[in-house]
Amino acid sequence: MTDTFTSNLNLTKPAVGSSANTWGGKLNANLDAVDAKFAGTSGSVVLRNANSQSVIAGMRPDSASGTDQAGTDVNIAAGSSTGNAAGGNLNLQTAPASGSSGNAVNAPTTRVSVLTNGNVTMTNDLAVTGAISCATLTIGGLAPDTFPSGTRMVFQQTNAPTGWTKSTDSGFNNAVFRVVTGSVGSTTDKSGGSVAFTNVFQSVTPAGSVATSITGSIDGHAITVSQMPAHRHFIAANITNNNTTLLSATNQAKRGGHTELASNNNEDYHLGGVATDATVGRTSSKGSGNTHTHGISGLGASSAFTGTAIDFDVKYVDIIVAQKD
């Protein structure tokens, strides 16, 4: 039979029954090979050296003096060489492990720092339980949950959040928002308007007067008998050529030369005042005094207000509506 060798350290496994005179040398070679792995030089792996310091690939993973104890920070510095592993996991554990299960016993909070001047590339998934603390973090070239310096936003609170500065420009005070799809106005003052919001939208009673002028013409109207006032007419036939006409105070119309009169009978006619209708010489009463209307054409009116005007030129600040990509 021939000797065989271990898979990882290539240690000699003497063949049974065929290494009677050589097994001692083979054993010593194996012990030397194992001891060399803890020498603390390049290519070796030492968990604890003589100074109780962790050493990986001939290098201490930190530059601090003292002992790397369980529960303290463990820093792995990038070396000059690189290597690839086909599968498997890299487990970093700072608490002491039990001899049987390999699980941390009463493990404290663990923090892992990657110290490198280059890039750290990770493939597949990275699962982290707890918080990740770093000075600058970018994902896909963008800082997560941050906005570029100078970004302006609206907050419904009195004080600005940490990292933001509250604008105290007087143009923004007591102003309304106007949403625009084009360019906004000034970013350091109001965009337009001049009257404070609370001054515009309050109870105001205008005071002044209105002057009105009317133009047009009124149509003529021929009244009917029913629209006339009640009245009478006296009539008489002239039977002579006498031109003398008298109207007495007793409502008598006279024209000289009438034989009815005992005296002064030179009247042509005499109408005596009577109290009943339709007597000789007087008509019946006609008319009732009803109302009537007139049409109007070309009517026009104009008015002008003179008084205190209300200024609705409320000042405003332009904003846009945007959605984060």
3-state SS record for 219-286? CCCCCCHHHCCCECCECCCCCCCCCCEEECCCCCEEEECCCCCCCCCCEEEEECCCCCCCCCCECCCE
Domain membership flag for residue 213: no
Average pLDDT over residues 15-31: 84
Higher pLDDT pick, 192 / 75: 192
Give me the number of domains the chain comprises. 2
User: HSE on the CB side for 66, CA within 13 Å?
Assistant: 7
The verdict on 278 and 149 lying in the same domain is no
Whether 106 maps to a domain, the answer reads no
The DSSP secondary-structure symbol of 15 reads: P
Q: Are residues 237 and 175 in the same domain?
A: no
Residue 293 within any structural domain of the chain: no
Residues 314 and 198 reside in one and the same domain: yes
Same domain, 228 and 200: no
pLDDT in tens, 275-292: 455 445 566 778 888 888
Q: Are residues 229 and 282 in the same domain?
A: yes
Task: Look over the chain and give the mean of its residue pLDDT values, rounded to a whole number.
Answer: 68
Is 35 among the domain residues?
no
CB within 8 Å of 188: residues ≥ 6 apart: 169, 171
For residues 282 and 316, state if they share a domain. Answer: no
* 229 shares a domain with 200: no
Distance, in Å, from the CA atom of 306 to the CA atom of 302, rounded to the nearest integer, reads 13
Check whether residue 283 and residue 245 sit in a common domain.
Answer: yes
> Domain for residue 262, yes or no?
yes
41 versus 315: the higher-pLDDT residue is 315
Question: Which domain covers residue 186, as residue numbers?
Answer: 134-204+310-325
Question: Is residue 169, in this structure, part of any structural domain at all?
Answer: yes
Asked if 276 and 232 sit in the same domain, the reply is yes
**Would you say residue 78 lies in a domain?**
no
Q: From CA 313, how far away is CA 315, in angstroms rounded?
A: 6
Whether 39 maps to a domain, the answer reads no
Q: What is the mean pLDDT of residues 175-184?
A: 86
308, 207 contact by CB (below 8 A): yes
**Pair 156, 278 in one domain:** no
Do 200 and 318 fall into the same domain? yes
Is the model more confident about 243 or about 182?
A: 182
Q: 187 with 319, same domain?
A: yes
Confidence at 195, pLDDT banded by 50, 70, 90:
confident
Candidates 293, 298, 294; CA nearest to 217 is: 298
Would the pLDDT of 143 be above 80? no
- The reported pLDDT for the residue numbered 42 is 56
